[in-house]
Amino acid sequence: MENIVSSTTGFIHLVVSVIALITGLWVLCSPKGTKRHKQIGYLYALSMALLNLTAFMIYKLYGKFGIFHWLAVVSSITLIIGIYPVIRKKAKNYLLTHFSFMYWSVIGLYCAFAAEVFSRLPGIVRTQTGEPMTVFYKLVGLASGLVMFTGIIIYIRLKPKWTKQYRRA
């Protein structure tokens, strides 16, 4: 476990990421608007908030604020914009805004998961001193890009249905 997690912050980050991966996928694939959807959705939002918070506390890869921290900023903004409409329920089409931003929050999470998987590859993507090699960025970019591309295709195909379904509110 030491190779996967190197601190208490890293352990919390790992635990909440697994919770977010499971609950995010569940919320996307399950019926919307039910009591269960709301409960699991709030669990997803809480786990993502903790995931992003702990991401800002991890500096092992670069020793300073890096690209993954900037992506955590984007993730935090997406999460806030996605959750705010269902808390306020004031704006026209608030459910469509909620659904769209929460969808991209989950897709971004899975992009981060793909990047994390490739960042864990031994030796192949790191120098002997532990620094990321050029191939690291290519593999992380390719993995994240494939997940994002898949998310875009699904979004384009299903957005007309979702727009019709969620435009009522």
Per residue in 138-157, pLDDT (tens digit) is 778 888 999 999 999 999 99
| pLDDT score, position 37 | 94
Q: How confident is the model at residue 121 (pLDDT cuts 50, 70, 90)?
A: low
User: What Cα–Cα distance (Å) separates residue 119 from each residue in 6, 10, 139?
Assistant: 15, 14, 8
Picking from 116, 103, 97, 117, the residue whose alpha carbon sits closest to that of residue 148 is: 103
For residue 63, pLDDT over 70 is answered with no
- 29-38, 57-66, 120-129 — most confident range: 29-38
CA angle in degrees (0–180, nearest 5) for 89-94-100: 135
d(Cα 130, Cα 83) in Å, to the nearest integer?
38
d(Cα 64, Cα 85) in Å, to the nearest integer?
34
Q: Are 139 and 121 in contact (CB under 8 A)?
A: yes
Q: Is 128 exposed, middle or buried (0-12, 13-18, 19+ CB in 10 A)?
A: exposed
- Encoded amino acid at 6, one letter: S
| pLDDT score, position 123 | 54
The pLDDT mean for the chain works out to 84
